[in-house]
Amino acid sequence: MKRYKIFYIHGGGDAIGGIETYLMYSLEYHKMYKPYLGIIRHGKYFEYLKKSGLENLIYLKGGRLREIFKTVRAIYNGVKFIKKNKIKLVISHGAHSWIFGGIISKLAGVKSIFYIAGDIKPDDFRELISGISLRIKPSLYVANSKFVGKSIRKFLKKNYKINHLGADEKLFENLDEKEARKKLENEFKLSSEKIIISLIGRIQAGKGQDIAINAYKSMKNKDKCVLLIVGEPTFDKDKEFMNYLREISKDEENIIFTGARTDIPLIMKGSDIILHTSRFPESFGLVIVEGMLSRKPVIASSLGGPCEIIENGKDGFLFNPEDFKELQNLMDLLVENPDLRKKIGIEGYKKAKSKFTASISIRNLEEIISKYLLRCQK
């Protein structure tokens, strides 16, 4: 069977979040199509991909939109690559890449998909980059959740397909829980009796690390626990928030800021409870799925995509965003009930394994692509 070639485009830069992780690990799961990944702008993400040994990585040598020469060069390189390699379809991730992907695909004469991994809001049309990108029309919109899809229908008046993101299950399968736990104990000088609660994500106000800290500080069982805040601020505007987090936790010796880590699966596997505390609706919540694949109970904010992942009380817990007292009660509940932690962890694992892995996500995406291309040929 002939494998058509598809070309993913990502804006690049320094942010490495859920969509960046998904792209990196999911490309290997393609069966029907041969994928390439084009990066517009040099940054931490491009270096991360190079170090990982990712195959079919293409640097388009672009920059910010205001850098006219680099923008034209990236577009030219993209069109040239598509024509030379007979690419069938362009898939763009993120507002910056939608602009490049939209222009490149039209100039190259191929179909395009905009993969939307964040809900569209009225303010997006008033901002320069997102405003331009949302006015470029692709061949097809794909949303990473029903929550995001509803915003496409509301603000763009367009139909869409849904394809949930997925985590790479292989990252967790070969990790031994006892070894992972021991490594965390040794690194952070923890007692084997401590319950490790981990919050993983970029340091920014929207991710709600302060909510987790306030919940921890009010716990009945906080002396039995340690709270790991995993991540660092990506942008200068988030450094002030980081200083605030350190200030409100300065008297808590069992709140540990780990900084950025490349061993997230190990941290999750060695933890007892995983938190996801966004104060704004998440479009999906890949870290939730990763926590579930590590067989740990996850407590997440009850807005947006997380409600499509977790069935509250069965395979995880949901709490009202910014309600740190509700979060505290759930944390205490899990600390006091090891059997419940195990039960929720197992149920969460079953859910994630059956619905939210990278292999499942890519298989579903390939079905969307094949049906769309077949329809175009008729």
Q: Is the dihedral of CA 4, 71, 129, 206 positive or negative?
A: positive
Burial of residue 352 (CB within 10 Å: 0-12, 13-18, 19+) is buried
Joined tokens for residue 29: 């799961």
Q: Is the pLDDT of residue 1 over 70?
A: no
Q: What is the mean pLDDT of residues 195-219?
A: 96
Q: Is the pLDDT of residue 165 over 60?
A: yes
74-130 pLDDT, tens digit per residue, is: 999 999 999 999 999 999 998 889 999 999 999 999 999 999 998 999 999 999 889
Ordered structural domains, the chain, with CATH: 4-166+357-377 (3.40.50.2000), 170-355 (3.40.50.2000)
CA–CA gap between residue 226 and residue 291 (Å, rounded): 17
pLDDT of residue 378: 57
CB 309 within 8 A of CB 291: no
Enumerate the β-bridge partners of residue 257. Answer: 229
CA distance to 200, 277, 295, per residue, from 341 (Å)? 19, 18, 9
